Chains A and B, each alone.
Chain A
Amino acid sequence: MSQPWRILVVDDEPDLEPLVLQRMRRQIRGGKYQFEFAGNGLEALEKLRADDTIDLVLSDINMPQMDGLTLLSQLSSLNQDLRAVIISAYGDMGNIRTAMNRGAFDFVTKPVDFDDLQITIDRTVEHLRQWRDATASRDKLVTLQNELDIATNVQQSILPSDFPSTSEYEINANMVAARNVGGDFYDYVAVPNDRMFATVADVSDKGIPAALFMMSSRTALKGAAIGTGSPREALVEANRVLQADNPTLMFVTVILAVYDPHSGEVTYSSAGHDPPVVVRTDGSAEQMPATGGIALGIAPEELFTATLSEHTVTLAPGETLILYTDGVSEAMNVEHEEFGLARLLELFVDKAPENAEEAMNAIFDAVAEFAGEAPASDDITCLALHRSASP
């Protein structure tokens, strides 16, 4: 039996403690979680200094004496391997964004939905487990293959799978890792006015350094996307964060799109990544215009900003937006031919996808059939956003 995960809940509302203990009683009894409580940031810091076995800090933002954002900025000085999840008021995107920029792993909104909280806690501790494996192994200078396995696990642990699905639209996504690479990821995050950011990204290189860079990229992108409606602005900010401290010259290509379910409008911007594809209701498909842009992490802000634009398209009911990495278009068969963009565009001529999952399955099936026995040389990642035919 493994040790329970130790979670420090920081909130000035006394009601929360009995509620957490009540709603999480099964996990507590089962030895999965163990909770500690603190009433504000100062108290939390005292507890953390006295007890270095805390794995996760779950903190409110507004508290007396020391607030959650100040607590976050103090956590790094503790020299302790833990993760923070922020509890914030619904729609308080400014604070959430600041929290993500200060290293919060994730956030939940008030009133706390305990099912959602549990999913978030599980995902965070699973990530922490993979992360500790990765850092422990790096210290031990493991063999390359082990390193790649660990990198792949870190990669898998950050991919969300609770896909958004409403009467107006749905998202589905998948990443199939190649044996020797660990670099792609996808993500999505809800922003105010019911809008949804979605991204697909491809990190240069492989192994643990690439996996660690992937983590920074994911956090920077998520933090930057929250609080701006503009993918271009978000990419500029993420580039600033990643470029500031990047001695190994890793980079990540990103396609970032924000969707407005009320109008069907998609605004996207690309940092060195292929533009999206839109599948029409008649099964035809076309690639959207490029937006310029340089991969994140390597260009100074002025150059990066000068070369980047964004573009808006409107999805008609029944249409599907597809974000993909070059693992799709450059998948190779045994004859060393590439799958190519043309095959992707012709994939739906007989039948337009009726939902996001159908689009994903069609793409992954087609690539697998094309590749045959040829081993994948790159990760294959795709995200589909489908606007419902009739809301």
Chain B
Amino acid sequence: MELAQERDSGTNVISPAGRVDGSNSADFHEALAAAIADDDSRVILDMGGIDYISSAGLRVLLLVAQRLGGSSTPFAVCSLAASVDEVFRISGFNQIITVYGTLDEAKAQLA
């Protein structure tokens, strides 16, 4: 699974792209885990490039959130495509994971 990454004074912005479903959720998890460092001060997942995410993909986000929660590292996702936003809304994940409209909003507000 390809993902772009940018670190700026402790803020780790990870931007995966493509489709996440049961067939590649393990890769997705591995790639995210490798992209996160213990000394990141906060992690933002820019989902703008994700056009589909299945429940297996959502579970990966939970596992990432749990890991970051364990070290009290702020974590949020942003820039959800309309279809992904709908999945978040229906599944109730928008109640569990912090969601911002844009990357700029996430950078300005996530603390």
Residues of A at under 8 Å CB distance from B? 180-181, 183, 202-206, 249-251, 253, 271-274, 290, 292-295, 298-299, 303, 307, 377-378
- Binary contact track B81-101/A, C-beta < 8 Å → 1, others 0: 000000000111101100000
The residue of chain A having its C-beta at the shortest distance from the C-beta of B54 within the complex is A378
Q: Provide the residues of chain A in CB contact with B54, threshold 8 Å.
A: 377-378
Taking the nearest CB of chain B, how far is it from the CB of A96, in angstroms? 29
The residue of chain B having its C-beta at the shortest distance from the C-beta of A178 within the complex is B22
- The interface size of chain B toward A, counting residues with CB under 8 Å, comes to 18
Chain A interface mostly: loop
B1 close to chain A: CB less than 8 A: no
Given contacts A251-B58, A292-B92, A377-B22, could you give 16 more A-B pairs where the C-beta distance is less than 8 Å? Answer: A180-B23, A202-B55, A203-B55, A205-B55, A206-B56, A249-B62, A253-B91, A272-B90, A274-B90, A294-B92, A294-B96, A295-B55, A295-B91, A298-B62, A307-B92, A378-B21
A294 near B22 with CB under 8 A, answer no
Which of A181, A206, A290, A298 is the most central at the interface, judged by chain B CB atoms within 10 Å of its CB? Answer: A298
The residue of chain A having its C-beta at the shortest distance from the C-beta of B62 within the complex is A249
Residues of B at under 8 Å CB distance from A? 21-23, 25, 54-56, 58-59, 62-63, 66, 90-93, 95-96
Chain B interface mostly: helix
B55 near A183 with CB under 8 A, answer yes
- Complex A-B: 8 CB contacts under 8 Å: A249-B62, A250-B59, A253-B91, A273-B91, A290-B90, A294-B91, A307-B92, A307-B95
Instruction: Assess A206 versus B92: contact at CB under 8 Å? Given A183-B55, A249-B59, A250-B59.
Output: no
Which one of B56, B66, B96 lies within 8 Å of A204 (CB-CB)?
B56
Q: Tally inter-chain residue pairs, CB-CB below 8 A.
A: 65
Cα-based distance from A205 to B20 in the complex (angstroms)? 12
User: Nearest 10 pairs between A and B by C-beta?
Assistant: A294-B92, A204-B55, A272-B91, A272-B92, A249-B62, A204-B59, A205-B56, A206-B22, A295-B91, A294-B95
Q: Provide the residues of chain A in CB contact with B25, threshold 8 Å.
A: 205
Q: Provide the residues of chain B in CB contact with A271, threshold 8 Å.
A: 92
Taking the nearest CB of chain A, how far is it from the CB of B44, in angstroms? 21
Cα-based distance from A290 to B96 in the complex (angstroms)? 18
Cα-based distance from A85 to B92 in the complex (angstroms)? 35
Q: Provide the residues of chain A in CB contact with B96, threshold 8 Å.
A: 294, 298-299, 303
